């Protein structure tokens, strides 16, 4: 796979992000290429989650543009924006599963809302998605009956329900023990290889950054800017910016 030789699937240009008049990030530009596991990293409060909210269309930038396969997301008509968003799958930090629905119902819901598939087809596909994340046989379980790692996997199955081109993960390892976290990393790699999805991973977890990240950007909360781009291990070895190397050399 040589993602950098292909056109970018996501392009951010001169983004300034914030809440009202309070700026969080200024003049941020980067590209994400098909098949990458693209890491958004940085310390607490640097704007990682704010950037993610803009990338999935929950917030509009104060200035700048986000392009998906060359289409400007925020100048598109509402129908086109919705069409683009249906190509996204999102794994939220807490999973955000519906507590009143079992796993099969949680995974089925996006297909019920956005496809014309029959009930039998939806049920079959939902079971397939659960099988992909190692949850065969857990159709009737409710989120409260699962471990933290299993809830994350179930939420991942739901994120994949509509066969998205891009999967966005917000701190997927948060709250997990090291062994479960490594298993989730392995699952993300397997899904990327098996499905060919592009993955955008927001995290500060060093093990995940080095284990699965193909390229990364580093956001700095003090300067409110993007200060480094590159493969994580190359940034560790070659970055001349102390803020980057301190972050990547810290003890987890």
Determine, yes or no, domain membership for 237: yes
Residue-number span of the structural domain to which 248 is assigned: 7-87+205-252
Supply the CATH number for residue 213's domain.
3.40.50.300
Q: How many CB atoms lie within 10 A of CB 7?
A: 10
Determine, yes or no, domain membership for 191: no
Is the pLDDT reported for residue 95 higher than 80?
Answer: no
Task: Output the CA angle 153-158-162, nearest 5 degrees.
Answer: 135
Determine, yes or no, domain membership for 29: yes
Determine, yes or no, domain membership for 225: yes
CA atoms within 13 A on the CB side of 43: 14
So what's the pLDDT on residue 2? Answer: 47
Residue 92's Cβ-count burial label (10 Å; 0-12, 13-18, 19+) is: middle
Please say whether the beta carbons of 221 and 47 come within 8 A.
yes
Determine, yes or no, domain membership for 178: no
State the average pLDDT for the chain. Answer: 90
Q: What is the residue-wise DSSP string for 24-68?
A: EEEEEEEEE-TT-EEEEE-STTSSHHHHHHHHTTSS--SEEEEEE
- Packing angle of the helix pair 178-195, 148-159 (nearest 10 deg): 20
Task: Output the CA angle 53-55-59, nearest 5 degrees.
Answer: 45
So what's the pLDDT on residue 247? Answer: 93
Q: How do residues 168-224 score in pLDDT, each as one tens digit?
A: 998 887 777 888 888 888 888 888 887 888 999 998 889 889 999 999 999 999 999
Determine, yes or no, domain membership for 14: yes
> Predicted confidence band at 147 (pLDDT cuts at 50, 70, 90)?
confident
**Residue 163 zone, left/alpha/beta (φ > 0; ψ -120 to 50; rest):** left
Q: How do residues 232-246 score in pLDDT, each as one tens digit?
A: 999 999 998 999 999
Specify the 3-state DSSP secondary structure of 160.
coil
What does the alpha-carbon distance between residue 252 and residue 247 come to, in Å, rounded to a whole number? 10
Determine, yes or no, domain membership for 148: no
Residue 67's Cβ-count burial label (10 Å; 0-12, 13-18, 19+) is: middle
Least Cα distance to 35 among 231, 192, 211, 229 occurs for 192
Number of structural domains in the chain: 1
Is the pLDDT reported for residue 1 higher than 50?
Answer: no
Least Cα distance to 82 among 57, 63, 65 occurs for 57
Is the pLDDT reported for residue 251 higher than 70?
Answer: no
Least Cα distance to 235 among 219, 216, 221, 220 occurs for 216
Is the pLDDT reported for residue 34 higher than 90?
Answer: yes
Average pLDDT of span 21-37: 93
Q: Which of 81-85, 190-194, 228-232 is the least confident region? A: 190-194
Determine, yes or no, domain membership for 162: no
């Amino acid at each position: 796979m040589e993602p950098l030789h292909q056109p970018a699937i996501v392009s951010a240009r001169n983004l300034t992000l914030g809440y009202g008049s309070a700026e969080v990030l200024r003049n941020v530009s980067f590209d994400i290429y098909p098949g990458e596991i693209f890491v958004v990293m940085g310390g607490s409060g640097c704007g990682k989650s704010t950037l993610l909210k803009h990338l999935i269309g929950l917030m509009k930038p104060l200035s700048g543009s986000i392009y998906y396969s060359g289409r400007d997301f925020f100048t598109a008509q509402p129908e086109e924006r919705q069409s683009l968003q249906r190509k996204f799958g999102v794994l939220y930090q807490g999973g955000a599963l519906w507590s009143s629905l079992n796993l099969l119902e949680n995974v089925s819901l996006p297909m019920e809302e956005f496809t014309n598939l029959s009930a039998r087809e939806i049920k079959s596909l939902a079971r397939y998605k659960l099988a992909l994340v190692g949850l065969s046989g857990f159709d009737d379980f409710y989120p409260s009956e699962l471990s933290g790692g299993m809830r994350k996997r179930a939420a991942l199955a739901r994120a994949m329900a509509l066969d998205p081109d891009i999967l966005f993960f917000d701190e997927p390892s948060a709250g997990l023990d090291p062994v479960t976290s490594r298993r989730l990393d392995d699952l993300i790699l397997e899904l990327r290889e098996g499905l060919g999805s592009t993955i955008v991973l927001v995290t500060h977890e060093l093990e995940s950054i080095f284990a699965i990240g193909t390229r990364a950007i580093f956001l700095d909360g003090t300067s409110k800017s993007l200060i480094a781009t590159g493969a994580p291990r190359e940034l560790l070895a070659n970055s001349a910016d102390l803020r980057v190397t301190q972050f990547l050399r810290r003890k987890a």
